[in-house]
A and B are shown apart, each in its own frame.
Chain A
Amino acid sequence: MKKSIILGALTIAGLSAVAASAATVDDVKARGTLNCGVTTGLVGFAAPDANGEWVGFDVAVCRAVAAAVLGDATAVEFIPTTGKTRFTALSSGEIDLLARNTTWTFSRDTDLKFDFVGVNYYDGQGFLVPKALGVSSAKDLDGATVCIQTGTTTELNLADFFRANNISYEPVPIETNAEAIQQYLAGACDAYTTDASGLAASRATFETPGDHVILPEIVSKEPLGPVVRHGDNDWGDIVMWTLNALITAEELGVTSANVAEMVTSTTNPEVARLLGTEGDLGAMIGLDAEWAKRAIETQGNYGEIFAKNIGEETPIGLARGLNAQWTNGGLLYSPPFR
């Protein structure tokens, strides 16, 4: 009996749990799959389709990185995370990459020891209210009950907005988007607030989307982007430049349809560098020459990904707006591939 206690104690001591901070890219290659943290389900951004396959705008980033690093866009293990669990999952190493409409903020970047490698969606916080309420501005919401997803920047923006306008509200904190929608539709709250893109995505799933309006006020800046752990810059570079490759591809007119042909026919030196026929950009980030080509081939360029998942042709129906290329008056501006 006593021996077993000793043995038990020895076993615990023997289990060396020191998290080796080896390079993430080596871990991913050794594992053969990319562990990617996504939402628990937000249609258009990350949600399983009818076949159980994850699809969406954020999912495409994960798949593009997997295609670039592993050569296989399906070699991704999707790990659903809530607003509360996402950062712990990333810092503990459970996921290699967090692509979960996460707002880039100062303290998350510095204090929480993460790196935001870019912005894949420029968003802002909005309010969804039933049309029947007759509210035309968020400033009319004095005394309203507002549903919020807890653990998000929206929680703090909401408090700031109402304080700045000197009006009162009653918050109803809710864990997931799905529960928040259920509460909102049951009338347990007058308004639901989250990123405007998320509101549009949720409204698209309502029975009668026309009975609900998104108020004109956008009360915050919400640059959403993929996140990696601070300190592993090689891995951060890979994710950053994969995202930039998708954006540059749209700018240069490279699409999933014409990429194979472009490889041979292009006369544009930047396209040639992007697709690996000229220069050795791939080797500089520790990948082969065709990394970006594979990402574009499987996922399409940024514009294609946008149009397929959340664009105006989809039920979610988001306009490009701020997320247009800089050449079209938007904010998307990738550094050059040189």
Chain B
Amino acid sequence: MSTLSDPPEGSFRLSMLLNDTRYRSLTLQAVAAIALALALYYLYSNLAANLRAAGLNISFSFLGSSAGYDINQTLIDYNSQSSNFKAAIVGILNTLLVAILACITATILGVFAGVLRLSNNWLVRKLMAGYVEIFRNIPVLIWIIIIFTILTAVMPGARAYLGEEPERGLIGGIFAFTNRGVYMPAPFFTNGFGGGEGSGLNWLMLIAVLVASFFGARAVTQSANRKQEATGVRPNTLLINLAIWLLPLVIFSLIFGLSWDMPDPLANRFNLQGGIQIGAPLIALWFALSIYTGAFIAENVRAGIQAVSNGQTEAAAALGLRPNRVMSLVVLPQALRVIIPPLISQYLNITKNSSLAIAVGYADITATLGGITLNQTGRAIECVLLLMLFYLVISLSISAVMNVYNNSMKLKER
């Protein structure tokens, strides 16, 4: 009888790369990787050759030259003499603005709709089902255009608010809702540090004050928690919390002379001047992205809630918790583990879908860098590459931040 022995070592032959199952998969993977690299190289050299043949070259020097066009809604100082690079920054900030606003409202909307879809009330349940099915099954571009069209058609023109005896007065004396957007008073500080005009420094200080208030209020809550655990009686913290939030704000405002810049109907015959204007394109885009993505988030929330075993709800109810406390204390915290991963991709969708802004004339990065700059300079490849880079960086950052949050919410097994 022969005995089984290990295969002889050191007898590697080239043919084993194909015949031996231990090596075959490695061989094939290596071949595929080389072929892929060759294909990519071919595509790149093809592009380079075609560009050379057309007499074009890849150059980013256009970013430094003056843009030459104006932008209607900017978060930083910008005029037509600013560089294309600055126009791109304006676009990036506008993209981030609408993305952040839409993420917040879509989450709120989605959580409400998701919870209410599981309501015991037939009408509420069906209404929410209707909302979800209607809004997620129509493309978001259509929603953006519909909402914008309705805004411009239904709202009064800005001229209705103008003149000595306008058709319409400002609402509450300070607000105006027009088809060009919403006008509202803008706060500003009359005194800066060490005398002089107020500046951005005032706002930084204000943020610092608010952060301090936040930590103060948290300390109060924690001490109330400790007292409750020790004595069983929770002290009333409402007044002291209100004071912690409001008193520093009031004092700060008095010292630095908080003042309001009101929309002025008499400035000229075209527009209200002064105050903050939130443009109709931003409102339409924000609203459309929120309700569209909110419908998807509602489904994620519903799935998350249904993933929590019914026993949890029943056990909580048996302990005497009321239904809304069962939801907020028992079900939702556990459901979050299921909700967050798909929520990340919804946030990414909002950010990427915001590139539809040009449909309503909102100056996001796709409209400035990928639209007007591309078109006026003719640097299509460079602009599109930069656009891709921007969206990639933003999306990966959102993923990274949300993954950190996801890890902190994950079930911690001990």
Contact = CB atoms under 8 A, between A and B. Distances in A.
B270 A83 contact: no
B38 A84 contact: no
B375 A84 contact: yes
Interface in A154-208: 155-156, 158-160, 162-163, 169-175, 182-183, 186-190
A172 B39 contact: no
Interface stretch (A13-21, A115-123, A314-322): A13-21
Contacts of A175: 358-359
A171 B71 contact: yes
A9 B159 contact: no
B72 A170 contact: yes
A93 B267 CA distance: 51
A141 B269 CA distance: 9
Interface residues of A, number: 54
A322 to B, nearest CB: 26
Contacts of A155: 68-69, 372, 376
Given A169-B70, A171-B71, A151 B55 contact: no
Given A173-B361, A186-B153, A113 B372 contact: no
Contacts of A50: none
Interface string A89-125: 0010000000000000001100111000000000000
B35 interface: yes
A144 interface: yes
Contacts of B269: 133-134
A92 to B, nearest CB: 10
B332 interface: no
A159 B367 CA distance: 17
B268 A145 contact: no
B275 interface: no
A175 B148 CA distance: 14
A30 interface: no
A150 B372 contact: yes
Nearest to A19: B50
Interface in A1-33: 2-3, 5-6, 9-10, 12-13, 17-19, 21
A83 B371 CA distance: 10
Nearest to B160: A187
B50 A6 contact: no
A127 interface: no
A231 interface: yes
B55 A145 contact: no
Contacts of B46: 17-18
A183 B158 CA distance: 13
B371 A186 contact: no
> For chain B, what secondary structure do more than half of its interface residues adopt (helix, strand, loop), or is it mixed?
helix
B335 interface: no
A238 to B, nearest CB: 21
A170 B271 contact: yes
B42 A159 contact: no
B186 interface: no
Contacts of A78: none
A45 interface: no
B39 A13 contact: yes
Interface string B361-386: 10100010001101111101000000
A52 interface: no
A18 B268 contact: no
A170 to B, nearest CB: 5
Contact of B375 (A18, A144, A150): A150
A18 B49 CA distance: 8
Contacts of B363: 173
A230 B378 CA distance: 14
Contact of B72 (A2, A10, A141, A171): A171
A266 interface: no
B253 to A, nearest CB: 30
> Which of B43, B46, B80 has the most chain A CB atoms inside 10 A of its CB?
B80
B35 A6 contact: yes
Contacts of B31: 6
A57 interface: no
A306 interface: no
Interface string B8-45: 00000000000000000100110110011011001100
A91 B375 CA distance: 13
B55 A171 contact: no
Contacts of A156: 68-69, 80, 376
B270 A6 contact: no
A137 interface: no
A117 B253 CA distance: 65
B268 A174 contact: no
A142 interface: yes
A183 B157 CA distance: 11
Contacts of A142: 268
A84 B359 CA distance: 13
Contacts of B35: 5-6, 9-10, 13
A186 B158 CA distance: 11
Contacts of A12: 39, 42-43
A2 B28 contact: yes
A88 interface: yes
A231 B374 CA distance: 23
Nearest to A83: B375
Given A113-B55, A155-B69, A188-B179, A2 B25 contact: yes
A111 B377 CA distance: 8
B142 interface: no
12 contacts: A2-B28, A12-B42, A13-B42, A91-B54, A145-B270, A173-B358, A173-B372, A175-B359, A183-B152, A186-B157, A188-B152, A190-B270
Interface of B: 25, 28-29, 31-32, 35-36, 38-39, 42-43, 46, 49-50, 53-56, 68-72, 79-81, 149, 152-153, 157-159, 179-180, 267-271, 273, 280, 358-359, 361, 363, 367, 371-372, 374-378, 380
Interface of A: 2-3, 5-6, 9-10, 12-13, 17-19, 21, 83-84, 87-88, 91, 107-108, 111-113, 133-134, 141-145, 150-151, 155-156, 158-160, 162-163, 169-175, 182-183, 186-190, 230-231
Chain A to chain B: the 4 pairs with minimum beta-carbon distance, closest first? A187-B157, A9-B35, A159-B80, A151-B375
Given A113-B56, A159-B68, 19 more contacts: A2-B29, A2-B32, A10-B35, A18-B50, A21-B53, A88-B380, A133-B269, A142-B268, A143-B270, A144-B271, A150-B371, A151-B376, A155-B372, A159-B69, A159-B70, A171-B71, A173-B72, A187-B157, A231-B54
